[in-house]
Amino acid sequence: MKKLIIFPVIFLLSVSLSGQNILDNYINQGLESNLMIKQKKADYEKSIYVLKEAKGYFMPSLSINARYSIAEGGRTFYIPIGDMLNPVYYTLNLISSRMYELGLAEQIFPNITVDNQTIEFLRPTEQETKAQLVQPIFNPQIYYNNKIKTELVNASQYNLETYQRQLVADIKTAYYNYLSTIEGLELIEKTRLLLDENIRVNEKLLENDKVTIDAVYRSRTELSKLEEIKAETEKNHQMAKSYFNFLLNRPLDTLIVVQDTGEINPVLVDLASGTQTALENRAEIDMLNSYSKATDLNVKMNKTNNWPTIFGVVDYGFQGEEYIFNDDYDFAMASFILKWDLFKGFQNKAKLQQAVIDKENLDYRKEELEKQISLQVLNAYYDLEAAFKKTLRAADQVKYTESTFKIIDKKYREGQANLLEFIDARTGMTSAKQNLILAKLNYKIKLTEYEKVTGAYTL
């Protein structure tokens, strides 16, 4: 059976609807303006553009390539065209001369001498200007790279969600800390009224010779101690205020709107369902799942390293010794290019093994993370239970110490109790109220922690 702990009485400090709306508004402000969240959002947006870049490899690329060359020297081609044609021309000359003499030809074949030719391989000047269109036809690397980038985008989104949940918890904790300092200052002011009244009573009793002057001095000493506590509390109040505004990326002295925490509402916590919710909702697990899918795709991609790739290429441009752009100098060429790496020094095998190891490590990390999250939920659950019980005890102590103080205060005014009894009762009551404030704060923080580790807060 699922372990279900229903606290014997309703939980304290579940905030009222109006107070919760104010806190939710602050959380929304923080999620929009916090500097760390802005950085994570920028990382996420960058990953989206990285994915768009990966998709772009499926599309054709068009480029303009221009080259102008000035060359000197280099290889030459020797063509003995004179040695081959001059004997022929000589023979034709003899034949044509004889035929002319016989009247069989109207003219003599002209004497022609052809020189041997030496042609340079590199022309002195040359230009080539062309537009080139390249279209991938078969390239598994592009396909798997696109899939990997998609998973990395998802991982970046889950990483952003992780920081958002942490920020929500930080804002809530800072808000509760600020509220506790306000309650602490209110308690100090109430205690001051008691001490002022005690000083007035002692001075009146001194006038009637019912106490000695040391009673007045002792009362004033207690008031001085209270001033020291107030100074420390005011410092904590300012620090809590500044930190809360820091989380919201606001000026540190910005006014914080607060409302009463409201009436008590019941909260039921189920350890088994809380653990299950955490394993389903925690973005860290989803992020690892995305990384795991990416590494699995990386393994598949590396298995295709020894596959051929095919590209289609179309060139159109102009060639010549000068920049002349007309039909006599233009050219067009279409090609299918196949590239097949048959051997690369066992690099492909090494890359594949690296990818396999990365996949195994992520599987181990996921298993470890699930156990860590289960442990976090377990700790948060029992911390919340203990904090609740402390809150109940603190509330009882306040009730008892208030009743005790009322009795002692009445006796002291009637001269039936001494000053030490009065101070002890007053100190006990103040300490109990302060302890209740801390217990409430601790409960709120533990409830916030439980909400964070279970992923219960809806972003």
Residue with tokens 């899918």: 293
- Of 357, 241, 231, residue with least CA distance to 296: 357
- Of 214, 167, 219, residue with least CA distance to 198: 219
Q: What is the pLDDT of residue 165?
A: 92
Asked whether residue 152 is assigned to any structural domain, the reply reads: yes
- Which parts of 250-346 fold into alpha helices (H)? 271-281, 283-303
- Residue 107 confidence (pLDDT) above 80: no
Exposure class string for 269-280: b at 16+ Cβ within 10 A, else e: bebeebbebbbe
Beta bridge partners of 312: 135, 336
Lowest mean pLDDT among 91-100, 296-305, 431-440: 91-100
Host domain of residue 449: 4-65+139-318+346-454
pLDDT digits 0-9 by tens, 259-298: 765 444 546 678 888 888 889 889 999 999 999 999 999 9
pLDDT digits 0-9 by tens, 308-320: 999 999 999 999 8
pTM over 0.85: no
Give yes or no: residues 107 and 251 share one domain. Answer: no
Most confidently modeled range among 193-207, 232-246, 256-270, 317-331: 232-246
Q: What is the pLDDT of residue 15?
A: 36
Asked whether residue 128 is assigned to any structural domain, the reply reads: no
Q: What is the pLDDT of residue 218?
A: 86
Q: Please state the rounded mean pLDDT for residues 75-93.
A: 83
Phi, psi (deg, nearest 5) at residue 315: -115, 140
* CB 446 within 8 Å of CB 394: no
Q: Please state the rounded mean pLDDT for residues 328-332.
A: 90
* CB 118 within 8 Å of CB 95: no
Determine the Cα–Cα distance for residues 29 and 43; give it in Å rounded to an integer.
20
Q: Please state the rounded mean pLDDT for residues 333-338.
A: 93
Reduced to 3 states (helix: H, G, I; strand: E, B; else coil), residue 77 is strand
Asked whether residue 399 is assigned to any structural domain, the reply reads: yes
Total domains in the fold of the chain: 2
- Amino acid occupying residue 70: I
Token code pair at residue 118? 């030496």
Give yes or no: residues 82 and 42 share one domain. Answer: no
What CATH number corresponds to the domain at position 173? 1.20.1600.10
Give yes or no: residues 232 and 109 share one domain. Answer: no
Give yes or no: residues 380 and 299 share one domain. Answer: yes
- Residue 246 confidence (pLDDT) above 90: yes
Determine the Cα–Cα distance for residues 129 and 320; give it in Å rounded to an integer.
9
Determine the Cα–Cα distance for residues 180 and 247; give it in Å rounded to an integer.
18
Token code pair at residue 184? 């602490």
Token code pair at residue 320? 């010549």
